[in-house]
């Protein structure tokens, strides 16, 4: 028989022996919309370890049906039918003499994908909790004045433009020094790109008050790249506070749970920084008002004293009047000198506090000869009990890093 005849027999057997449709679970290894709006791709199943593929099948969905189920799926999950997505499909098994075996998609179970996304996020958070780093960044003290801002975003993103515009045109006239560390925020290479930007910021952490990671809205499925353990661990272990503003009001990623401060959008991140500056400005206004009220009260007391002295000296000799007037002038001069001294003393205290803050900077500690040691996966070593012979460790000095291998561990 010919190949076509054999394939025709296979097709007839399958059509006569299989049910009309089946629910099947798997992962999209490939997915695309082709000519005419038809959906094509490949579905795979991996072993329990998630390393090896144990089954695969070509998938199709004709344009008319694809338009209906894809719109409903995106509305219910916020996801698109894309590569690497875990799905539960209602399919019909087909076999064509020319194109071979394939599964034709009839429907998609949205609840299955939602559950898989939630399960993955929970597993990442549990691992962060077990590693003891989930709250590391949250526990860092937030500087009173957030003026020097390291920004991780895409240079051409609308969300980044909105963030910069809001900072630069704030109603209080506050000035912020912000610098972009560009990263890919959508598509491939999101994880590696953001981690590279964070590493660059960490290398000059003493220059920045905080890190802001922002990305504007879009398809919720695009945010799945932010549900990553390595990326979440990098954020959790940043040496300065991290502020995250990713997506829309309804969106949520693992980074929201490990960052020092979580806001909903890039503009909300700018508003947070502006509000912080406004609070510090209000504190200065309160101090100024208190000083002015004190000065006004002292002036009123001196004025009353002058009036009393004037009454008492009305009948006194002219020389005594001049003497008292001179004393009053001296009191006024001393009073003004005292006020100036108060301002100078307050300024000196602020400068001393700033000097102490700078002296405690981790980067300066490194320059004095201290060092920080991390495990190979980036965790900061705090105890010798966290090291074992044969472990690879990374030591950070003021001017660079080097790798070592633990030969032995001693508690002395």
What confidence tens digit (pLDDT) does each residue in 36-70 have? Answer: 999 999 999 988 877 788 999 999 999 999 999 99
- pLDDT for res 330: 85
The residues with which 104 forms a beta bridge, in sequence order, are: 60, 92
**CA nearest neighbour of 69 among 37, 31, 108, 34:** 108
pTM of the complete model: 0.55
Q: Calculate helix-pair angle for 158-168, 266-312, nearest 10 degrees.
A: 10
Phi, psi for 361 (deg, rounded to 5): -60, 130
- pLDDT for res 203: 96
Report the chain (412 residues): mean pLDDT per 10 consecutive residues. 94 90 91 92 86 91 94 83 86 93 94 78 90 95 92 92 94 93 88 95 96 78 79 96 84 88 93 92 85 87 85 67 79 80 80 70 73 87 86 88 88 69
* Contact residues for 165 (Cβ-Cβ < 8 A; gap 6+): none
Largest alpha-carbon pair distance within the chain?
142
Q: What's the start-to-end Cα distance of the chain, in Å?
A: 83
- pLDDT for res 245: 93
Give dist(CA 182, CA 200) in Å, integer: 11
- pLDDT for res 194: 96
Task: For 199-308, list the strands marked E by DSSP.
Answer: 210-215, 242-246, 261-263
Q: Calculate helix-pair angle for 266-312, 318-359, nearest 10 degrees.
A: 160
Buried b (16+ CB within 10 A) or exposed e, 345-368: eeeeeeeeeeeeeeeeeeeeebee
Q: Give how far Cα 147 sits from Cα of 161, 167, 229, 274, Å.
A: 18, 11, 30, 10
- pLDDT for res 251: 67
Q: ∠ CA(218), CA(79), CA(50), 5° rounding?
A: 125
Phi, psi for 253 (deg, rounded to 5): -130, 170
Contact of 361 with 383, CB cutoff 8 Å:
no
- pLDDT for res 37: 93
The residues with which 210 forms a beta bridge, in sequence order, are: 149
Give dist(CA 130, CA 232) in Å, integer: 14
């Amino acid at each position: 028989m010919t190949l076509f005849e054999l394939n025709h027999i296979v097709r007839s057997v399958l059509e006569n022996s299989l049910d009309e449709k089946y629910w099947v679970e798997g992962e999209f290894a490939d997915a695309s919309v082709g000519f005419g709006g038809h959906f094509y791709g490949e579905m795979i199943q991996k072993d329990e370890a998630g390393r090896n593929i144990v089954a695969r099948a070509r998938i199709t969905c004709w344009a008319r049906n694809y338009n209906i189920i894809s719109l409903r799926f995106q509305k219910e999950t916020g996801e698109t039918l894309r590569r690497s997505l875990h799905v539960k499909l209602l399919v019909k098994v087909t076999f064509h003499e020319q194109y071979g075996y394939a599964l034709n998609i009839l429907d998609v179970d949205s609840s299955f994908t939602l559950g898989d996304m939630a399960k993955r996020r929970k597993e990442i958070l549990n691992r962060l909790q077990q590693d003891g780093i989930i709250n590391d960044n949250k526990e860092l003290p937030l500087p009173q004045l957030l003026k020097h801002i390291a920004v991780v975003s895409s240079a051409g993103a609308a969300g980044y433009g909105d963030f910069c515009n809001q900072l630069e045109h704030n109603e209080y006239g506050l000035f912020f020094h912000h610098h972009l560390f560009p990263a890919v925020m959508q598509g491939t290479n999101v994880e590696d790109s953001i981690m590279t930007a964070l590493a660059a910021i960490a290398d000059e952490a003493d220059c920045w008050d905080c890190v802001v990671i922002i990305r504007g809205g879009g398809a919720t499925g695009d945010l799945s790249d932010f549900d990553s353990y390595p990326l979440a661990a990098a954020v959790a272990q940043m040496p300065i506070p991290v502020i995250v503003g990713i997506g829309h009001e309804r969106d949520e990623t693992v980074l929201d749970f490990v960052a020092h401060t979580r806001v909903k959008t890039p503009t909300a991140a700018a508003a947070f920084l502006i509000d912080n500056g406004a609070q510090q400005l209000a504190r200065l206004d309160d101090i100024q008002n208190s000083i002015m009220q004190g000065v006004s009260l002292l002036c009123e007391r001196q004025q009353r004293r002058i009036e009393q002295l004037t009454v008492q000296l009305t009948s006194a000799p002219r020389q005594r009047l001049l003497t008292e007037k001179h004393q009053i002038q001296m009191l006024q001069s001393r009073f003004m000198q005292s006020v100036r001294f108060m301002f100078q003393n307050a300024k000196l205290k602020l400068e001393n506090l700033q000097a102490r803050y700078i002296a405690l900077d981790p980067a300066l500690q490194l320059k004095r000869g201290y060092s920080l040691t991390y495990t190979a996966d980036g965790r900061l070593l705090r105890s010798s009990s966290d090291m074992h012979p044969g472990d690879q460790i990374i030591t950070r000095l003021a001017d660079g890093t080097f790798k070592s291998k633990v030969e032995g561990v001693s508690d002395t």
